[in-house]
Amino acid sequence: QVHVAESVGRLVQAGGSLRLSCAVSGRPGSSYGMGWFRQAPGKDREFIAAIEWSSETTYYGDSAKGRFTISRDNARDNPKNTVYLQMNSLKSEDTAVYYCAVAVRGPNNLVSAKSYDYWGQGTQVTVSS
């Protein structure tokens, strides 16, 4: 059974930084890609960033460009596919529940939520102004 687990989010002051991590277990081998989405109260789920696992090609949503960086764990002895989201210069509008997702098959459009097969439970990030 595939399990996707995000790290615990927290309260951050505006202008601060936070790194989220996401680990996938229960699936042999590498996935096609992993991504981050977020959803703020009353808003639709928004694409933040994604990475193709083998090529490490990255994609960013408009709200993430220039401030957020997605990366993957390259450790060969890491039994879990792990991806990170480094968030800098945080703003109050970044407050949302952040979700990690895994796309098993590719090639696929990693910007679309429909491309993902497994999702984490989400983690709350709150940015205070």
pLDDT in tens, 94-120: 999 999 999 998 888 999 999 999 999
pLDDT in tens, 38-91: 999 999 999 999 999 889 999 999 999 999 999 998 666 666 688 999 999 999
- Those residues with Cβ within 8 angstroms of residue 78's Cβ, 6 or more apart along the chain or in another chain: none
CB 63 within 8 A of CB 45: no
- Those residues with Cβ within 8 angstroms of residue 4's Cβ, 6 or more apart along the chain or in another chain: 22, 23, 24, 100, 101, 102, 118, 119, 120
